[in-house]
Structure 1
Amino acid sequence: MIQYMPFSYLPESLLGVLTGLFGPIAVGQPLNALVPAHMRAAAEKGLLRLRYPAGVDQTALEGAFKSFTAWADLHKGKSGDLTGFFRSEQEQDPWGQESARHIRTQIRQAGQNTSAAQSPLFQAALFSALAHRYDQQRDALEQDLGSVASLEQKFGKIVGEPAEPRSSLGALLAPQETAASDTGLYMTEQRIESWARLASPSESVLITTSPAVWQSLLERLPDSIPVLHGQFDSARPDAGPNGFADLFAALLQAQDPRTVSTQHLALKAGEKPLVTLGLHVLAACRFPELLARFTKGSFQRQPPEAASSPCNTVLGLLQVHAT
């Protein structure tokens, strides 16, 4: 199965595209209480597999998450402003309020297992939960802006004005055309490292939709082998779950991934591309070994089937074209 990374929040607009191309996908979740309704519904239909981190106390994590978001509301008025929180950990609060460090101390002292709250795994889960809320809030804002643009178009028709190619909101409504819309640009390295600590080692095909995350992966994995860069139309059966499943199965076991054919997925004349997909392969690198690279060798959780897991790891960047 394919794993979506490094995000735990999957926008509804992307969910259908990803599952249409690849079939069911796995998405790591730091906190059950944060899973949005559309992701729960997809999980009930078997389209998503929600993976929760082993060894993380959900009750303690939820308490820490609520305390941190309360801190953000108090200090910045932006519960999704992760940078503000982590910066303030090293700074004195000029307004005389409790500092982030003091709140962290309170959280740890209130827990039954202080050492667990201080563990890198717990801290990674807390960061992921905060990032999840930030991403969800950002997606809601983009949806609201899209509604404004639609209203502008309807109003123009009512008053007899010609349709405008862009609304008054400009580039904010072109998420596929602006680098600023890439959520992965925000705390990229922290996202990847937190994901790696929490990831289930059961999947060996990793897909991201963030160019910033993709660039970081390639910089940190210079030994990865490029095997595919092309445009696809998911309406075609051979470019859907079955076609990609066969390709991924071959890439995961190939001694030389460059010899695996991708011709059956090529666009035919007249077909409109829905997505662009780039694939790289880490040859002779099992997924648990990859996770150890990102966690500085501290990844210890091995699944029972680790010895028989695929020999390679597949990495992919999926970019959806505006329609």
Structure 2
Amino acid sequence: MTNDIEHEHTSDTDSDATGARQPVEHIGDGEAGHAVLAYLWRGFARYGSGGMHESDYRLIMDDDQWMMVRDLLQRYLAMDDLDDAVRAIRDREMQRLADSSQTDTEPEPTPPGLPQGWWTLLEAAYERLGDEEGLRRIYMCYIVTNRLPRPRKSPEATGLGLVIDPMHYVRKLKTLSGEHWSEDVRCMVRVHQRHYRDPMFAGWQLSYEALLRSERLSDAAWRYCRVRCLSRYASADEAVGLMSTMFDVVAERHAEEVCNLLLDSLRDADSPMLCEDSPERVEQVIAVLRKCLPYDADRVHAECERLHGMYRRRRQLRSALEALMGGWTQPMGPPVTCMPRHDYRLR
């Protein structure tokens, strides 16, 4: 009986010892792990690296090494907190610009040739170790800092057909987040609005715009567009293009403000839209007026009259304005005809 009890106790101890290290299951779609595997085996064409499986991660590193990589890169990239990670990216970019003007600075370690450099390796570690919070955090960082995926083949495109999908990481994050999706969206908007005026993040942020459109975040979209349309960030032409892309979302709650911003751009005679009477430029002007017409018809009518009277020698613009306002009862003024030139030279 003693032996039976001892045997039973020993079995429990062995079970505890073996159960102390539970095997981990990878999460996500394995995209980062596949990229790391392909990077390592790029010189060995005889090895295939198709769909990523749990065993494939072990061909790269064992679990202890994956844990070490995660801990090191998480500290190096400050990825234990989203706000800290964005701030670290900004500081690193500023330091890189400062070092570019000096010759005696010590360069940082060269990132591997992966889609997102060191971040892809950390992403693969999160996948392998089943670190859901870490993987969600790195997807959020990609979206907030506009780290786009590599261009991919599009079945609809002709020729090379390489396109960039701004929704790529938004979809991956939404699938992974599940019930935490609303919380993650609020976190991304909060962090982005904290840093969106920083020159290091200037320019169109396609992933963040895709998030705003897909979730119909009108207030956040208006704050983003209002800053991006400032002259120090974008030209008048680029500002109109941005507002055209985000117009439907912004207009849900800020129709008057966005119409004012768009129509004000038509009062700049030096803007690219009004630089010439070409079909492309005229279409840009009409597109702005057509978008604002359902929300502020009186001002659009007044703007059409002003443009029609101001640019009296631009036949294409005047014809397009007349076609847009074809339902008016009061006709617009006739175009100015140029008088023939006389030759006053002595004969």
TM-score, normalization: structure 1? 0.24
Larger Rg: 2
Structure number with the higher helix fraction is: 2
Higher relative contact order (CA 8 A, sep 6+): 1
How high is the TM-score relative to the length of structure 2?
Answer: 0.23
